[in-house]
Amino acid sequence: MNIIEKHFMRYFLLLFWVGLVFSCKTSEEPKIGLITENAMVVSAHPLASEVGKQIMEEGGNAVDAAIAVHMALAVVYPEAGNIGGGGFFVIRNQDGSTHSLDFRERGPLLAHRDMYLDEDGEVIDRKSIKGHLAAGVPGAVDGMARAHERFGSLPWKQLIQPAIDLAERGFVLSEAEAAKFNRAKENFNQYSTVNPSQFTGKEWEENDTLVQSQLAETLKLIRDQGRDGFYKGQTAKYIVEEMERGEGIISYEDLEKYESTWRAPLEGTYKNFKLITMGPPSSGGIIILQMLGILEDREISRNGEAYAEYLHLKTEMERRIYADRATYMADADYYPVPVQELLDRNYLSQRFQTFNPEKATPSDEIAAGKILSMSEETTHFSIVDPEGNAVACTTTLNGGMGSSVVVDGAGFILNNEMDDFSIKPGHPNMFGVLGGEANQIEPGKRMLSSMTPTILEKDGQLFMVVGTPGGSTIPTSVFQAIVNVVEFGMGMQQAVNEPRFHSQWQPELIFYEKEGMDQGIKSAMENKGHSFSERGGIGRVDGILVLPDGRLEGGADPRGMDEAFGF
């Protein structure tokens, strides 16, 4: 087995694991989601959605609610919700102004290009995926503080308190959550320097209560001191001591210097819709705008054989665009990402000249396009407040439970986001995507992301808020949710329930969800030369749709515990 095959094998094992977490149970699910008059939160955990609703009932706006939901998810959904990771906010205020906040992790100052290679230049197994060296400098707390400084309306303390209460009093585990914590124990034991007994201390069962006292104390420091409660003082000391014990490299200076960044959101149009999404260091916004750019002049249908034609078209787009991702996309502060060139309609039509409606194009015949000048455990939530302000937030530790390092004393899990860098050209990351020089490791640089928090306007009015976890499958899941609503006329819940498909240049396969593939469609596509691989659920899309009468419909993904709350 060569190195690429070996890593794709790991990727398949990861998909199997993810499948256990993201079960696919779309067929029996309700087709219409929660409908409310005024406000809504849809997130990966009912307790976090409830916190967001409560904040808005207390007069908070969408950004207030987003901060409170983000902090609550760090407690009740610690495999991806976080204070030890990072993410992106895309915001559209009711006056139509748009913003994006990048609180993505950064490479530590001691990071360097070859830090995961041995003396022969070979990748050291798992070094970028588990343990202290896998962690980037966390951005989440700085991001929340910065969002509050600019748009918050309620006192900061009021937004952090619900998370403290959940950590201190604990919350009751479902059967699936108990199983998830039991599965995570082995890695926690192996990679944390001090046994995190709050997670590992017992065999979890349904209805047990998970209390996180250390995390509650850290959240109190954040409540009382803002960003300094994390990046300075006691919490910084805990992080640096953890690094010293585990031979990691995050330093006081890294923490002190971390800054999240307001960026102009990436915007583009599709028919009479405007998309407001995340640009670099995410690849996600570019990918969905490229896909929609190719789709715009084509007729597609959800029915019969025409659906196979659409899936063929979608796969062929994905192959070409993920080849572009591997070559051109990275942190634009460190590499000149040719965003406008990649989105240029002439470029896209040239890129698609080799498309054959009858036949799959082998991935090894596809390279990145010629430009004339020159990322599965994450979580997403969508919020609309009573004024019509909207926030789409995707936030992550990268893999499930991140690096599996729990910072002793501080009680939170550190990300393993360093694996989203290209650790060696041509070496696939844990999601099987390839990368090159553009996304190589550099101190202070942000690793390339696939997270795609997105807001749509229709005819100038707020229309949809959407996003999902899912590593490299994120952009294609967001694309499908949008197409399901905009082209196939579905409501939000139905669009979320629909079976999903994903492909990404390499591996040269179409992934489909268990029980999510019609045999006739599959055969029609096999006849065109496509190969398939079954897996567990793809993504967990949480969206909100503004209905024609102004009410809101939530789409909470039935693949998880996701739930919509509103009023």
Residues of this chain that bind ligand GLY (CB under 6 A): 375, 378, 396, 398, 417, 420, 449-451, 471
Length, in residues, of the chain: 567
* Coil vs helix vs strand at 115: coil
Nearer to ligand GLY, 34 or 451 (CB): 451
- Please check whether residue 313 is in contact with residue 300, taking contact to mean a CB–CB distance below 8 angstroms: yes
Minimal distance, residue 117 CB to ligand GLY, in Å = 21
Nearer to ligand GLY, 173 or 326 (CB): 326
Minimal distance, residue 539 CB to ligand GLY, in Å = 12
How do beta strands 510-513 and 532-535 pair?
parallel
| Phi, psi (degrees; rounded to nearest 5) at 545 | -115, 135
Minimal distance, residue 216 CB to ligand GLY, in Å = 26
Minimal distance, residue 403 CB to ligand GLY, in Å = 12
Residue reference for tokens 């207390």: 58
Q: Catalytic: 378?
A: yes
The neighbouring-strand residues paired with 36 are 552
* Strand residues in 231-315 grouped as ranges (E): 261-263, 266-270, 273-277
Determine the Cα–Cα distance for residues 4 and 15; give it in Å rounded to an integer.
16
Nearer to ligand GLY, 385 or 417 (CB): 417
Minimal distance, residue 379 CB to ligand GLY, in Å = 11
- Please check whether residue 214 is in contact with residue 79, taking contact to mean a CB–CB distance below 8 angstroms: no
- Please check whether residue 480 is in contact with residue 500, taking contact to mean a CB–CB distance below 8 angstroms: yes
Nearer to ligand GLY, 98 or 378 (CB): 378
Minimal distance, residue 281 CB to ligand GLY, in Å = 9
| Per-residue H/E/C for 445-494 | CCCCECCCCEEEEECCEEEEEECCCCHHHHHHHHHHHHHHHHCCCCCHHH
Long-range contacts of 212-217 (CB under 8 A, 24+ apart): 212/75, 212/78, 212/167, 212/170, 212/411, 213/167, 213/168, 213/411, 214/408, 214/409, 214/410, 214/411, 215/74, 215/75, 215/167, 215/410, 215/411, 215/412, 216/164, 216/167, 216/168, 216/411, 217/410, 217/411
Nearer to ligand GLY, 142 or 420 (CB): 420
The one catalytic residue among 218, 378, 454, 476: 378
- Please check whether residue 34 is in contact with residue 153, taking contact to mean a CB–CB distance below 8 angstroms: no
- Please check whether residue 136 is in contact with residue 129, taking contact to mean a CB–CB distance below 8 angstroms: no
Nearest residue (beta carbon) to ligand GLY: 375
CA 63 to chain centre: 18
Selection from 492, 491, 487, 489 nearest residue 541 by Cα = 492
Nearer to ligand GLY, 463 or 479 (CB): 479
Nearer to ligand GLY, 316 or 420 (CB): 420
Minimal distance, residue 416 CB to ligand GLY, in Å = 9
Residues labelled catalytic: 378
